[in-house]
Structures are given as structure tokens and as C-alpha cells.
Structure 1
Amino acid sequence: MDISKTRYIIFDTFGTVVDWHGSIVTHGMSLSKKYNLDIDWDEFANAWRNDGYFKATFDIAHGKREWVPADTVFMEYLDSRARECGLDVLSAEDYENLGKIWHRLSPWPDVLEGLNRLKTGYAIGPFSNGDFNLMIDIEKAACLPWDFITTGDLFKKFKPNPEVYVDEINLLGARPEEVAMVAAHPFDLDGAKLAGCTTIFVPRPMEYGPKVIYDEPDGKQEVDYVLNDFVELARLFGV
């Protein structure tokens, strides 16, 4: 794949740019200490991601349920497990802050250096299923140097619906070969590949925490590049 025509680099966010698992566990442990809770936060974080967020967004992407914002998806799962996990003892403020932890996720250690280098030569931004206001909050909390923000709620569709990748290219006013997509999940790159974008896989083996040995399933399309981190990504693009 010829990357010399690239103008825009877009990024999956949860897991690729930010460490959702570590952020949830750290916040959860502070709540356990405050309220004397007995919760396995590693398990809770992974279930919130897979049984909550992933399942709902995949169902929406494949037309199995109506579109709702990602924040609604996150709160649906939290509400479904609150009593079981003893979270009903939290104050209203602490409960809301737990639900909004997805707005305050920390970046992986290589991210800021890589993004700041990429920004010197390219327009960079998230292409996420997270809500627009959620991405703004993450940008502020993590000091991410985005040039723009694009999210599923702009299109009322969720990745990996193939149509949303075409919508993204059109919104950028770009040709497919001018857009490169970066993700830690090959399934997320499949739609970008079919839309004609350059695809770059950056594995995050610690995405589900240190207690889980996790290998990301292969996608259906061959990715163009496999890199170790965002610093290597910046090097690939010559910045």
C-alpha cells in the first residue's frame, strides 16, 4: 500500500488509543476502598466492555436493535449489574462518576509521543463508536492532540457497519487512498480496507489487563501494516 498520498490518519479509540481496562480498575479500586466493596474490578471492566459495550454496538451495527448513544449503552450495563455487585450503596454522585469513567480514560504510554509527531505532518483524529461529547472529554482528560473528532453518533451508525467507513471518508472530504486507519482490532480495520483506506494494526496485548492472555482474532481482510506502537507509527509516516 502506497502511503505517500495519506492526508488523514484516523484512530479507533477504546483499546487502541486509551487503556479502558486500567482506567476502570483504578477508579473501581478507589470505590472499593471508600465503600468497602468486594468486587473483582478486572472481571467487571472486561464484562462491561464485552457483554455491555461490544454486544450492544455490534447488535446496532448489524441492525438487531435501534441506534442509541454509547453513553446509554454504558449505563444500561452498569444499571443491570449495580445491585448484584453492591454498587447500589454508592452515592448518586459516585455512581454517575463511575458511569462516566469512559469519559476519563488514560492513554497508553506510547500514544502522546506518537500522536504529537504525527500531527506535525498529518490531520489526525478519532473515528470511534463513542459519542461526540465523550470523545471531547477523553481528549481533554488525556491531552490528546486531535485535529478533528468523528464518531458514530454523527452518522447514527456504529462500526463495523461497512457503510460508516464510507461516511467517514466523505465527511473528511477525502479520497479513500488519502485516509489511513489505525486500530488494535482487525475486525475494525475490515470495513476501512473495503472502503479503500490504508489499514494499520497496532496490537494492545494488555488491553484486557495483566490477568488475561488475549490474542485479538484475525479480521477477514489482510491489513497493510502491523506495528508495535504509535512511535513506530510515526516513524512509518516519516515524522
Structure 2
Amino acid sequence: MSDVSAVKALVFDVFGTVVDWRSSLIADFTKWSETRGINADWTALVDGWRAVYAASMDEVRKHPERGYVILDKLHRQSLEKLVKQHAIEGLTEADLHYLTMGWHRLNPWPDSVSGLTRLKTKYIIAPLSNGNVALLTNMAKFAGLPWDLVLSAELFEHYKPDPETYLGAARLLGLRTEQVMMVAAHNHDLKAAQKLGLKTAFVARPTEYGPLQKYDFEAKGDWDIVAKDFNEIAERMGC
């Protein structure tokens, strides 16, 4: 384990690292659709939705003249296209809103709340996510995530892995980059943070994408901590 004695704050990737987005959305939409009498392959829709996630943010990067677009809006734009592709009929405006807001209602992994609660006793903890502020705030309420504050890409008008997100988090916390630890289940996220001087912790979430998972089964970098879950991170950080 590297020297992490200077760390004063841990910031977390959220989708896949803190919350189980795939199983949460599939279960939510399946139960909801039964009350609406709507038939759809929700697993295919959810997987398709996540598959266009990165591309939707790339569009924002490619067209800065259009201004920053929050994730809720990107999710809604992608959903409308996917509903047509999957020939899901009978959805009202209220239905489309409910589905879009599904990303606000995600369940945590079993170790998330307990591990975060332990870390909170000694460190500042916050998400550092591409989710917008309202999304992350509502999710925290729904899932019982004990954040000290919400750090969102919306605050910096840049999506990860743009440097502005990681550097902006340290700046808002009044800390040097080496005093901030990025926690993620995604090696590429940690690589971007490490390049800027942040400390790093990897936790594998091998079922994040269900049977579609193709990577991030294990640490692929020289991270400061590699742990099985958040409670092990807390233990390694002296909590």
C-alpha cells in the first residue's frame, strides 16, 4: 500500500462503483410497467441506454458552442431514441419522465453505505460523478448515501475524464490533489485522476454490466489501494 497519510477527502465514482445501476433500473421498470400495462424488454433498453452514455457526453465535448448539457437531459434524449428503436408504444410524457428519473432511484451495493459511513468518521466523502447535482442529491436520499457534499460534473461543466472535474474537486475542497483520493470500479477513471496527482483506490464490481461485462474485473494500474469493497478501504484508511 502506498503512502496515503496526506489524504483528507475521498471522492467516488457513483454509477457502478457506489450504486448498482443495471439491476436497479431493470427491477424498477419491470415492476412499474406491470402497473401501466406496457410490455417491453427492459433489460435490452437499460443495456442500450448505458451503451450510449459515453457517446452522449462526447457530443457535449465536441460542441462546446452549444453549452454544457446536464446528464438528466442527455439521458432523456437517449431514451427517446431508444424507445423508438425498441418499438415501445403507449408511453406518455409522464412515463418518459418516470423512466428518466430512474437514474435518481438506484440502489447501493451491499457494502456501500456501511463503508461510506465508516470513512465519513475520519474523512470528507463526496461523489465525483458525471451525474448532475439534482440526480446525485436525490439518489443520496433514496439510497441513504451519507455524503458530506455533492461534487458533480455539472459544477465544472466538464464530464469525466476531463481534467477539470478532478482538479475542480480538489479546488472546491481547498485541498492539494495528493490530499484527495479517487475511488472507482473503473480503471480508466483512476488513470485520469492519477495523472493529475490524486491518490487512487480500486474496488471491482464484476457484475455491474451483468453478462455483458467485458472489463474492470480487476485492477489494471498501480493504484494506491486495491480492495474487495468499501469496508476494506475503510479498514486500510484507518476507520
Give the alignment's TM-score, normalised by structure 1: 0.91
Question: Is structure 2 residue 203 aligned with structure 1 residue 202?
Answer: yes
Structure 2 CA distance for aligned equivalents of residues 49 and 212 of structure 1: 11
Tell me the CA shift for residue 194 of structure 1: 1.2
Deviation digits for residues 61-99 of structure 1 (CA, Å, limit 9, x no counterpart):
xx3133311011100111112233344413432321111
Structure 1 residues 59, 219: closer, same or farther in 2, change over 3 A?
A: farther
Deviation digits for residues 149-169 of structure 1 (CA, Å, limit 9, x no counterpart):
111110110100123211221
Tell me the CA shift for residue 25 of structure 1: 0.2
What is the 5 A alignment of 1:176-191?
176-191=177-192
Structure 2 CA distance for aligned equivalents of residues 133 and 56 of structure 1: 19
| Structure 1: gaps (5+ residues) | none
Aligned to 1:47: 48
**One-letter code of the match for 1:212?**
L
Question: Is structure 2 residue 178 aligned with structure 1 residue 167?
Answer: no
Structure 1 residues 224, 58: closer, same or farther in 2, change over 3 A?
A: farther
**Could you tell me whether the CA contact under 8 Å between 2:206 and 2:217 is conserved in 1?**
no
What is the 5 A alignment of 1:1-239?
1-51=2-52, 53-60=53-60, 63-66=61-64, 67-209=68-210, 211-216=211-216, 222-239=222-239
**One-letter code of the match for 1:129?**
N
Report the secondary structure of 1:200's partner residue: strand
Tell me the CA shift for residue 105 of structure 1: 0.8
Which has the higher mean CA deviation after the structures are superposed, 213-222 or 146-155? 213-222
Which has the higher mean CA deviation after the structures are superposed, 149-158 or 224-233? 224-233
Structure 1 CA distance for aligned equivalents of residues 225 and 63 of structure 2: 34
**Could you tell me whether the CA contact under 8 Å between 2:204 and 2:219 is conserved in 1?**
no
Report how many residues are paired.
235
Deviation digits for residues 206-230 of structure 1 (CA, Å, limit 9, x no counterpart):
1012x33432288986322221111
Report the secondary structure of 2:16's partner residue: coil
Structure 1 CA distance for aligned equivalents of residues 86 and 59 of structure 2: 25
**One-letter code of the match for 1:201?**
F
Structure 1 residues 168, 127: closer, same or farther in 2, change over 3 A?
A: same
RMSD, matched Cα: 1.9
| Structure 2: gaps (5+ residues) | none
Tell me the CA shift for residue 233 of structure 1: 1.0
Identity of aligned residues (%): 38
Give the alignment's TM-score, normalised by structure 2: 0.91
Structure 2 CA distance for aligned equivalents of residues 195 and 79 of structure 1: 37
Structure 2 CA distance for aligned equivalents of residues 114 and 220 of structure 1: 23
